[in-house]
Chain A
Amino acid sequence: MEFLEREDIDLVVTDIRLPGIDGVELTKRIAERWSDVPVIVVTGYGDIETAVEVLKLGASDFIVKPFSAAAIHESTRVGLEKASLFMEIRHLRHRLKESCEFGGMLSRTPEMHRVFEIIRTVAPTDSTVVVEGETGTGKELVASAIHYQSERRERPFVTINCGGFPEQLLESELFGYERGAFTGANQSRPGKIEMAHGGTLFLDEIENMPISMQVKLLLVLNNQKVQRLGSNRWTRVDMRIIAASNIPLKDLVAQGKMRSDFYYRVNVILIELIPLRQRLDDLPILIQDFLRHHPVAVKKNITGISNSAVDHLTQYSWPGNVRELHNVLEKAVILGKSRVINVSDLDLDFGGSTGETNANVTAPKGATELPLYLWIREKEKEYLIHKLSAYRGRIGLTAKSCGMEVRTLHRKMQLYGLDKKAFSKRL
């Protein structure tokens, strides 16, 4: 079934007697999952009862052996003709996916396509890469895409979450240890660095790596040798480093949380991932892709989402990015009752906390009357009006000043009904 999932098959011709799964079961499964794919069943003489059974299950035709080429041709032609519309849709979807998909990431936005291009360019090199982006933006997917497009793809891709361990445990995880190196070290164990030899070491959440560990890792990177805890022996390592952070590394340096020598050693190629709220145009393809692959959506035959539900999703700020979108969709497909996701199926926390818990903070003007997202939109509109006025409606300059892409500014202006001509007159 994975083959049918992976490939765009337009018609299946199958014998009825097969080892493992037989033609009857195969027809049943295909009819359930890919009802638009015609199945022609080839049967032996005297197998007519089974042939009738497969027709009832959804096979488009059956042919009795020995068959003539003309019979096969005619049956195929009829089957494909009936399914031609579905076939066209399937091929278009495939082409669309090919143009939007890269290493498990889907996007139509030029910003993400630039990221795909950087990945293609840097993958064959051994350069150290830093991936910066908010939580849930797909930093590990980027790291994995780089590894699997590189010459190191046959060797290990080793991941360590630098925020997942206390300092001493992180050290033993990274460097490994010899038996007796510390209490509880009953046997020797290689660290992640050694395990990544020949491949790639992905340091996730590097913002949480203690300064002392940065010094030790820097030594490994400079010397390309590692020493297990409790050992005097150095082992040569050849690995590529990819690091990911939720916080820009230069901010960590400014805050004294990252050594500048370590920063300059790792920050060779920087890939910045934009948050989902800046690529809302991608929502439809992300949603469709989720529905096509999530087992519950497939089982319940949930194939679409209403326009109002998409509008609702575009109004949300997505602090958890694509990961949060997947969670919201998963809940919707599990609890949803219809074949289309509706607004009522979406559980979005528009009043979500910003992390501010001080009860003495004065509510901003008008904030108590409006839901948070509407208040934010009002403020954003005011901000854009101010900026457009300051730059007399010149889009490029305004976008640069706002720190956003021209395309994003255009979309927001459209959303708020702002016309650049109105600002060019304000002298």
Chain B
Amino acid sequence: MPLTPHILVVDDDVMIGEQLERLFTHSGYKVTSGTSFGIS
């Protein structure tokens, strides 16, 4: 089974965070995102 890399995106700018999340998800990565290091 191929590995799906898990990427953590942390950016307090929600728009940028969402853009990155979409970009990575579209590329087949598993993504968790948050606006600070107290991951939301």
Q: Scoring A residues 22 to 47 as 1 if CB is less than 8 Å from chain B, else 0, what string do you get?
A: 01001000000000000000100000
Which residues of B (4-20) have their CB < 8 Å from a CB of A? 5-13, 16, 20
Task: List the B side residues contacting A11 at CB < 8 Å.
Answer: 5-8
Separation in Å of the A83 CB from the closest CB of chain B? 9
Cβ contacts B22-39/A at 8 Å (1 or 0 each): 011001010010011111
**Residue on B nearest A23 in the bound complex, by CB:** B10
In the bound complex, residues from chain B placing their C-beta under 8 Å from that of A15 are 10-13, 16
Q: Say yes or no: A18 contacts B10, CB within 8 Å.
A: yes
What is the size, in residues, of chain A's interface with B at 8 Å between Cβ atoms? 29
With A and B bound together, what is the CA distance between A358 and B35 in angstroms? 68
Asked if A9 and B36 sit within 8 Å, CB to CB, the answer is no
Contact of B6 among A7, A19, A76 (CB under 8 A): A7
Main DSSP-derived SS at the B contact region: loop
The residue that A20 contacts in the complex, of B6, B11, B38, with Cβ under 8 A, is B38
Interface residues on B, range: 20 to 34
Give Cα A69–Cα B8 distance, bound, in whole angstroms: 17
Residues of B near A13 (CB, < 8 A) are: 7-11, 20
Write the A66-82 contact mask toward B (1 if CB under 8 angstroms, else 0).
00010011001000100
B21, closest chain A residue (CB):
A13
**Assuming the A-B contacts A18-B10, A18-B36, are A72 and B3 also in contact, with contact meaning beta carbons closer than 8 angstroms in the complex?**
no
Shortest CB-to-CB span from A259 to chain B, Å, is 53
Known contacts A20-B38, A21-B37, A26-B37, A12 near B6 by CB under 8 Å:
no
Assess whether B23 is in contact with A10, with CB atoms less than 8 Å apart: no
- B8, A20: Cβ atoms closer than 8 Å: no
Contact present for A72 and B7 (CB under 8 Å): no
Which chain A positions have C-beta within 8 A of B37?
1, 18, 20-21, 26
Q: Please tell me if the beta carbons of A10 and B20 are within 8 angstroms of each other in the complex.
A: no
- Identify the interface centre among B6, B27, B32: most chain A CB within 10 Å of its CB: B6
CA separation between A4 and B24, bound complex, in Å?
Answer: 18
Binding site secondary structure of chain A:
mixed
For the complex, give the distance between the alpha carbons of A106 and B2 in Å: 26
Closest to B7 in A: A11
Residues of A within 8 A of B29 (CB): 76
Name the distance in Å between A33's Cβ and chain B's nearest Cβ: 13
Whether a CB of chain B sits under 8 angstroms from the CB of A114 is: no
Q: Residues of A contacting B11 with CB < 8 Å? A: 13-15, 18, 42
Whether A17 sits at the interface, judged by CB under 8 Å, is yes
Please indicate which of the listed interface residues B10, B13, B16, B24 has the most CB atoms of chain A within 10 Å of its own CB. B10
A80 vs B6: C-alpha distance when bound (angstroms): 10
List A contacts of B36 (CB < 8 A).
Answer: 18-21
Q: Is B12 within 8 A of A9, CB to CB?
A: no
A80 to B5 CA separation, bound complex (whole angstroms)? 8
- Complex: A91 Cα to B23 Cα, angstroms: 23
How long is the Cα–Cα vector from A3 to B16 in the complex, in angstroms? 21
Inside 8 A of B32's CB, which chain A residues have their CB?
3, 7, 9
User: Contact at A18–B8, with CB atoms within 8 Å?
Assistant: no
Nearest-neighbor residue (CB-CB) of B23 within chain A? A69
- Check A17–B12 contact: CB distance below 8 A: yes
When distances are taken between beta carbons in the complex, the residues of chain A under 8 Å from B7 are 9-13, 76
The complex places the Cα of A87 from the Cα of B30 at a distance, in Å, of 14
Contacts of A4 in B (CB 8 A): 8
Contacts of A311 in B (CB 8 A): none
CB distance from A62 to the nearest CB of B (A): 14
Please name all residues of chain A whose beta carbon is closer than 8 Å to the beta carbon of B6 when the two chains form the complex.
Answer: 7-11
7 A-B pairs within 8 Å (CB atoms) are namely A10-B6, A13-B20, A15-B10, A18-B10, A20-B38, A73-B23, A73-B27
Please give 11 more A-B residue pairs, beta carbons under 8 A apart, in addition to A11-B7, A13-B20: A3-B39, A9-B6, A18-B10, A19-B35, A21-B36, A23-B10, A72-B23, A73-B23, A73-B27, A87-B3, A88-B3
